[in-house]
Amino acid sequence: MKYSAASAGSGAFLAKPASRRSVGSRLLSVAGKFSATSRQYETYKAKNGMRLDREWNELTTFIQFKMNGENLDDAVRRIESFRSKMQAERE
């Protein structure tokens, strides 16, 4: 594990980076949200047709090809946005 030196006043200290486990657990959390959203979309699609297919395809493309440990917050935002669209369509 790498440590970086950061200056603080007259001396320097070693700052420990975020552990890989925390990124891994966040990644699992995002994967769980996406999986749950996928199930919700299958139910939505059976009742409402393919109204949100374009948005769904954009979300799945992002999750599959662009998501990484640095943009997990963006992934969660996109998932929540899609869930909101499904909810709005139901009402």
Q: For residue 69, what are the domain limits?
A: 19-90
Predicted TM-score of the model (pTM): 0.76
The tally of domains found in the chain comes to: 1
In a domain? residue 6: no
pLDDT of residue 11: 47
Asked whether 26 and 72 are in contact (CB, 8 A), the reply is yes
DSSP secondary structure letter of residue 66: I
Cβ burial of 83 (10 Å; 0-12, 13-18, 19+) is middle
CB count in 10 Å sphere of residue 75:
21
- Regions in the chain scoring below 70 on pLDDT: 1-21
13 in a domain, yes or no? Answer: no
